[in-house]
């Protein structure tokens, strides 16, 4: 059975189906992370010594700033990869997508070192309320980065074969993957100041 | 952006992506610098969230092509925004319950 509206827009929505689908999914993701941000405010309001917990956690702001730049860079390479397909430049598409996956990998490696430092200092999610919400939010975000990398790696490898048969469909698939990736970047843009700076 | 968007139009967009990238890096540097200014909590939160909102808008508007997106996407996001706002306002309302900062609420260990 052929999947309808993968390339042409559906008349009533004005969108190809995949795009409408990813926006509905992202709306549910906003609520998922929104719930955690809400929990963060609630926990922080109720805490007697939030500031002390935050100080004791000794979060590495330099590493987090570096990671912010890495994720922003990956968003640019992601959109450039999609734009390359639009401009019929398949070689560039692969290069930019590979860079995107690489940036995701760098982000997770840095995160691994951050987590290791915390565990080394006996800082666990059970240590205090701040660390609990810190590990929950950054952990969930990290899983999202990993998921995006898996999808993008697929489009770098076997998924790229579609370019020979249905180039427009592949371009749209990459736009959908990009929308998800940019959303993950967007979440980090809020996580960074909320967890590290304030 | 429409599926049948012409390659030429996309080519023109490339410089916009680069400009947004640079703006995001500058704003990241700005938000880290603002922290060292040691503002009071209320001002620090306002500045950090304002910068984050501007950065988020740039990502959503240009990388996610929300600028010039179809009406249905705006409707979905508007409904989402209403519920997100409710989620964020709820914990702020408890600022007046007399338990704030006391560590005596149900959230205490």
Q: Tens-digit pLDDT profile for chain A (198 aa)?
A: 888 999 999 999 999 999 999 999 999 999 999 999 999 998 998 888 899 999 999 999 999 999 999 999 999 999 999 999 999 999 999 999 999 999 999 999 999 999 999 999 999 999 999 999 999 999 999 999 999 999 999 999 999 999 999 999 999 999 999 999 999 999 999 999 999 998
Write out chain A residues lying below 8 Å of B28, CB-based. 65, 68-69, 72, 192
Q: What is the dihedral of CA A157, A158, A161, A166, to 10 degrees?
A: -110
Same domain for B49 and B74? Answer: no
Closest Cα in chain A to B40: A198
Asked whether residue A46 is assigned to any structural domain, the reply reads: no
What is the ipTM score, two decimals?
0.93
pLDDT band at B3 (very low <50, low <70, confident <90, very high): very low
Structure-block tokens of residue A104: 């995701």
Asked whether residue A10 is assigned to any structural domain, the reply reads: no
CA distance A128 to chain B (A): 8
- Overall number of domains in chain B: 2
Query: 3-state class of A14 per DSSP?
Result: coil
Selected residues 13-52 of chain A with any CB under 8 Å from a CB in chain B? 13-16, 19-20, 23-24, 27, 30-31, 34-35, 37-39, 41-43, 45-49
Percent of chain B scoring above 70 in pLDDT: 83
Residue B9 to residue A135: CA distance in whole angstroms: 43
Residue A143 to residue A18: CA distance in whole angstroms: 22
Residue A82 to residue A85: CA distance in whole angstroms: 5
Same domain for B55 and B80? Answer: no
Same domain for B20 and B52? Answer: yes
Same domain for B39 and B92? Answer: no
Structure-block tokens of residue A51: 């500031």
For residue B109, the model assigns a pLDDT of: 46
B73 closest CB neighbour out of A23, A87, A128 = A23
Write out chain B residues lying below 8 Å of A70, CB-based. none
Write out chain B residues lying below 8 Å of A16, CB-based. 3
- A160, A170 in Cβ contact below 8 A? yes
Residue A152 to residue A182: CA distance in whole angstroms: 13
Same domain for B2 and B25? Answer: yes
Structure-block tokens of residue B20: 């947004």
Asked whether residue B104 is assigned to any structural domain, the reply reads: no
Write out chain A residues lying below 8 Å of B59, CB-based. 75, 182, 185-186, 189
For residue B104, the model assigns a pLDDT of: 61
User: Is residue B58 scored above 70 in pLDDT?
Assistant: yes
Domain range for B82: 70-96
For residue A191, the model assigns a pLDDT of: 97
Residue A146 to residue A141: CA distance in whole angstroms: 9
Residue A8 to residue A11: CA distance in whole angstroms: 9
- Overall number of domains in chain A: 1
The CA angle A180-B49-A112, to the nearest 5 degrees, is 55
Write out chain A residues lying below 8 Å of B103, CB-based. 46-49
Asked whether residue B32 is assigned to any structural domain, the reply reads: yes
- B100, A44 in Cβ contact below 8 A? no
User: Is residue B107 scored above 80 in pLDDT?
Assistant: no
Look-up of token digits 């408890």: B94
For residue A142, give the CATH number of its domain: 1.20.120.80
Write out chain A residues lying below 8 Å of B75, CB-based. none
CB contact under 8 A, B28 and A171: no
Domain range for A87: 61-197
Asked whether residue A38 is assigned to any structural domain, the reply reads: no
Residue A52 to residue A80: CA distance in whole angstroms: 43
User: Is residue B62 scored above 90 in pLDDT?
Assistant: yes
CB contact under 8 A, B32 and A197: yes
Range list of H helices, A121-166: 129-156, 162-165
User: Is residue B96 scored above 80 in pLDDT?
Assistant: no
Asked whether residue A20 is assigned to any structural domain, the reply reads: no
User: Euclidean distance between the first and final Cα of chain B, in Å?
Assistant: 50
Residue B45 to residue A57: CA distance in whole angstroms: 19
Asked whether residue A174 is assigned to any structural domain, the reply reads: yes
For residue B1, the model assigns a pLDDT of: 45
3-state SS of chain B: helix, strand, coil percent to 5? 70, 0, 30
Q: Which of the residues A8, A36, A41 would you substitute to probe the B interface, choosing the one with the greatest number of B C-beta atoms within 10 Å?
A: A41
């Amino acid at each position: 059975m052929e999947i309808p509206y993968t390339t042409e827009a559906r008349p009533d929505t004005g969108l190809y189906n995949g795009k409408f689908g990813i926006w509905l999914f992202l709306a549910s993701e906003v609520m998922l992370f929104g719930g955690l941000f809400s929990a963060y405010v609630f926990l922080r309001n109720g805490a007697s010594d939030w500031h002390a917990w935050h100080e004791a956690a000794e979060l590495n702001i330099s590493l987090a700033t570096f990671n912010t730049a890495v994720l922003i860079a990956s968003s640019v390479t992601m959109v450039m990869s999609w734009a390359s397909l639009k401009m019929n430049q398949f070689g560039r598409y692969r290069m930019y997508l590979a860079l995107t996956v690489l940036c995701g990998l760098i982000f997770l490696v840095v995160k691994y070192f951050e987590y290791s430092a915390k565990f080394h200092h006996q800082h666990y999610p059970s240590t205090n309320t701040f660390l609990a919400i810190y590990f929950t939010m950054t952990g969930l975000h990290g899983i999202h980065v990993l998921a995006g990398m898996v999808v993008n790696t697929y489009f770098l490898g076997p998924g790229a074969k579609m370019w020979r048969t249905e180039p427009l469909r592949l371009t749209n698939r990459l736009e959908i993957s990009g929308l998800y990736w940019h959303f993950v970047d967007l979440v980090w843009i809020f996580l960074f100041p909320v967890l590290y700076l304030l | 952006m429409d599926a049948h968007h012409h390659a030429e139009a996309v080519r023109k967009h490339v410089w916009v992506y680069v400009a947004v990238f640079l703006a995001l890096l500058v704003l990241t540097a700005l938000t880290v610098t603002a922290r060292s200014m040691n503002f009071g909590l209320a001002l620090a939160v306002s500045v950090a969230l304002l910068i984050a909102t501007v950065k988020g808008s740039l990502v959503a508007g240009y990388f996610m092509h929300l600028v010039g997106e179809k009406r249905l996407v705006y409707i979905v996001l508007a409904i989402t925004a209403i519920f997100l706002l409710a989620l964020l306002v709820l914990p702020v309302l408890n600022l007046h319950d007399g338990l704030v900062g006391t560590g005596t609420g149900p959230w205490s260990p």
